[in-house]
Amino acid sequence: MTEPGQPSPTGTVELSDWLFSRDSGVTEIPVRLPHDAMIGARRSATAPGGADTGWFTGGRYTYRTVWSPGGGVRNRRVFLRFEGVQGDAELFVNEQSIATIRSGYGDSVHELTEFVADGSIEIRVEIDDRAHPRSRWYPGAGLFRPVRLLLIPPVHLTSDGVRVCTRGVDAGAAKVDVMVDLHNPAAHVLTVSARLLAGDEVVAAGWLETRSAGTISLTVPGARLWSAEDPHRYRCVVEVTGDGEIVDRRQEYVGLRTVSVDPRRGLCINGEPVLLRGACIHHDHGVLGAAGHRAAEFRRVRRLKQAGFNALRSAHNPASRDLLDACDEIGMYLLDELTDHWTVSKTAYDRTDRFGRTWREDAERMIAKNRNRPSVILTSIGNEIPEHGTTKGDQLTAEIAAFVRELDPERPVTAGVNLFLSVLASMHSGPYRERSEHRSGGEGAVPGPGSTLANVLMNKLGVMFDLVARTPRAGRVTQDVFRHLDVAGYNYALGRYRRDVRNHPDRVVLGTETLPGDVARAWHLVRTIPAVIGDFVWTGWDYLGESGVGVWVPDRRFAPLAKPYPYLTAGPGMFDITGHPDTSLRLAQAAWGELRAPAIAVRPLDLAGRHVARVSWRSTDAVESWSWQGCSGRAAAIEVYSSDEEVELILNGRSLGRRRPNRCVARFRTAYEPGTLVAVGYVGGRETGRSELRSAAGDLTLQVVPESRKLFADSADLAFVVVQVADTDGVVEMLADTDITLEVEGPAELLGFGSADPAPTGSYVDTTHRTYRGRALAVLRSTGGIGTVRIIARSGEYRSATGSLDAVRR
């Protein structure tokens, strides 16, 4: 079914309140969407998804709600849109089965018009999520993205019925085409008008008469163009008029900008070269699970931008509408990605069997969703596709890329190509297997370990990906794949950049995945080779699943890449799952030139003298703290991140010497003693800046610290509250972890509570959790009322503490 047009805001009804039950139970509990049914499920060492999905068990879930149409649906068609459903789902309306839902990360739209005449309608979604694993990461389950009713007039703008394209800019004036497409069964002549507004001022307007479709060409003098640095948007209003009455109206915010790539100037936004400082991210939100809360999307984008990133890669699935909104509004370039697999299986239930039948529809939905999004500058058609390196894969790459390019000629097409895996595939010994349609996720389906096997090899051999990628064979087996792409996406292949841009002068290169420890090396290549347009680190934000791939393990000489139960978080994030910056972020900031002063980090002193098994997806286990109670005299390994020529380290007033940073890192060793540790940067012998860490002093207390003192009373906004053990100045103690129980009073509810502990034994839906390195994060959600919200934290060791915030009208 083709999705209908979105009407004006008054024709959209959000279905947020549902009744939820688990495993066919008779007890229903009220839930408010978005909702992740998996995050509250049991975790077990025998869970079928294993480390990939964080050791969560699956289940069967039922969501039920009742909608009373009222008079607002008269002469309207009614459609139900799911923005994402995780698990195999069946939709029932008034006990009648009307559709199966396979949307996963994409839209699924179903017409309910025939049921509206009966008055109130019951909507029920039955989800069977027992089949695992279907992803190589934590997917979540249930109605994890918004569900909305669309009330559509008989004559309307179609789903993709307003397309705004910036054709060019001349002497400051932007040439803009507004392309419209109508559903107009009677074929009457209609008037369609389009206006662009800056605030309330109309900056351009035009109209046409048509029965079906057409283009309105506008000129915007003195146009303010959208970019990540200046995310200015205009309001586009399109109205359809017949017989003197407005029959449909569409309003959305659009950014005017152009995108181009070539090997000599690289990536240009609005004609100006841009280098991408990119972060790969998964879709989950840590303690909230996979639930796609709008406030969480905005918080993440805001923090990543403040840290110096200017681009995100939605790995490895289409971005949510709320993430797109955040990138458009805050200013963040986005590489949106279609899928993690094509026809060759990576996990047991990943639906590769139906890819051939569904990829066109999935691509159409993603492109339609992104059409007027200025933040989306690149489209990826897949990640680490096993078929790359084979004749079949080359042909499919050409077909998918051409299809996407025809639908959306304005955005370059790329893919994340792992040259190491392509070499394996070309030798017919890759770690994947193709699954026929009759083996679709049923009993006896045989999982191929997918990229996981390659990850294990990389964990053992470290530089294996890069070394194999340098070989002549890697170049030969991928040359056809790259020939079909506008931008060649390289996963873990920095060693090929210089050779390939020399041997293929028309190739544009993008680092679609890079190890955190390689960011300085990668950024040097980006800055010095015009054809290399940017680098995306794996990852910018930590995530659930792929448990422990980036976690160092003490008292082991070797640790497997996938860690045993109860490991949960992946571990390679430059922000941890609570949104706290990791030391690896400082390396990136130093490489980008974004550090104003040297940044200090210390390897955990409670592990001093013990052997630690390292992994490739984390370059260090150091943390930004000099507060390690009970560790006096232990050998402290200190890392200072800086782009300066020299760094001096000073402990309690005495110099520990100067070092020249090697790829932005200078290392020192000394005996730990509490006090103040200062790092000073020098260029040409002159001080450029200094920073310090100090130890917690005096009594430690429990503290409740909201990130904001305001919560919008709209039943959807979130408040993020840090709970920590610290001294009176807020210096957090690394070795004072304690169990904390939370209570919330006032117009808010506790939605999630947890820490960055990579191997937690508790649940994020419980009210009690243990801090990790002195911190935990609580997430509260508005219940709709105004007033004071109080958060009471209790600990047997550190007594209690209270924080508050105000719930106010938006």
Query: What is the tens place of the pLDDT at every residue in 407-448?
Result: 999 999 999 999 988 888 887 655 565 554 333 333 333 333
Q: How far apart are CA 5 and CA 161, in angstroms?
A: 7
pLDDT tens digits, 47-72: 989 999 999 999 999 999 999 987 66
The whole-number pLDDT of residue 451 equals 57
Lowest mean pLDDT among 21-25, 124-128, 221-225, 448-452: 448-452
pLDDT tens digits, 165-177: 999 999 999 999 9
The whole-number pLDDT of residue 338 equals 97
**Do residues 605 and 569 make contact, with C-beta atoms less than 8 angstroms apart?**
no
The whole-number pLDDT of residue 458 equals 53
Residue 39, amino acid: I
- Mean per-residue pLDDT, 219-236: 97
Q: How many CB atoms lie within 10 A of CB 129?
A: 25
Check pLDDT > 70 for residue 517: yes
The whole-number pLDDT of residue 428 equals 67
Q: How far apart are CA 577 and CA 757, in angstroms?
A: 9
Check pLDDT > 70 for residue 6: no
Confidence class for position 7, pLDDT limits 50, 70, 90: very low
Check pLDDT > 90 for residue 700: yes
Q: How far is CA 11 from CA 69, 76, 107, 155, 481, in A?
A: 12, 9, 18, 14, 45
Q: How far apart are CA 431 and CA 445, in angstroms?
A: 16
Looking at every residue in the chain, the average pLDDT score rounds to 92
Check pLDDT > 70 for residue 450: no
- Find where tokens 């924080």 sit: 803
Confidence class for position 524, pLDDT limits 50, 70, 90: very high
Lowest mean pLDDT among 96-105, 408-417, 680-689, 768-777: 96-105
Residue 19, amino acid: L
Per-residue tokens: 583: 């030391």
Determine the CATH number of domain 276-582: 3.20.20.80
Per-residue tokens: 271: 């004609």
Predicted TM-score of the model (pTM): 0.95
Element (H, E) at 721: strand 718-726
**Do residues 767 and 680 make contact, with C-beta atoms less than 8 angstroms apart?**
no
Task: Give me the residues paired with residue 19 across strands.
Answer: 30, 64
Determine the CATH number of domain 701-808: 2.60.40.10
Confidence class for position 8, pLDDT limits 50, 70, 90: very low
DSSP 420-487: HHHHHHHTT--S-EE--GGGSSSTTPPPP-THHHHHHHHHHHSSHHHHHHTSHHHHHHHHHHHHT-SS
Q: What is the DSSP letter of 122?
A: E
Q: Does CATH place domain 156-254 in 3.40.1010.10? A: no
Beta strands in 495-558, from DSSP E residues, in sequence order: 509-514, 532-537, 553-554
Check pLDDT > 70 for residue 761: yes
Check pLDDT > 90 for residue 206: yes
Check pLDDT > 60 for residue 482: yes
Architecture of domain 595-694: Sandwich (2.60)
* Percentage above 90 pLDDT, the chain: 83
pLDDT tens digits, 542-581: 999 999 999 999 998 888 888 999 999 999 999 999 999 9
Confidence class for position 134, pLDDT limits 50, 70, 90: confident
**Do residues 650 and 677 make contact, with C-beta atoms less than 8 angstroms apart?**
yes
The whole-number pLDDT of residue 459 equals 57
Q: How far apart are CA 529 and CA 331, in angstroms?
A: 25
Domain ranges within the chain, ordered by starting residue = 9-152, 156-254, 276-582, 595-694, 701-808
Cis peptide bond prior to 539, omega within 30° of 0: yes
Check pLDDT > 80 for residue 152: yes
Identical fold, 9-152 and 276-582 = no
**Do residues 782 and 739 make contact, with C-beta atoms less than 8 angstroms apart?**
no
- Mean per-residue pLDDT, 692-720: 97
- Find where tokens 């396979």 sit: 102
Query: Torsions phi, psi of 114, nearest 5?
Result: -65, -20
- Count the helices and strands in the chain (H runs, E runs): 12, 48
The whole-number pLDDT of residue 442 equals 34
- Mean per-residue pLDDT, 526-547: 97
Q: How far is CA 380 from CA 396, 397, 404, 500, 519, in A?
A: 14, 11, 10, 20, 22
Check pLDDT > 80 for residue 455: no
Residue 765, amino acid: V
The whole-number pLDDT of residue 2 equals 35
The whole-number pLDDT of residue 429 equals 56
Confidence class for position 636, pLDDT limits 50, 70, 90: very high
The whole-number pLDDT of residue 431 equals 58
- Domain spanning 9-152, CATH class: mainly beta
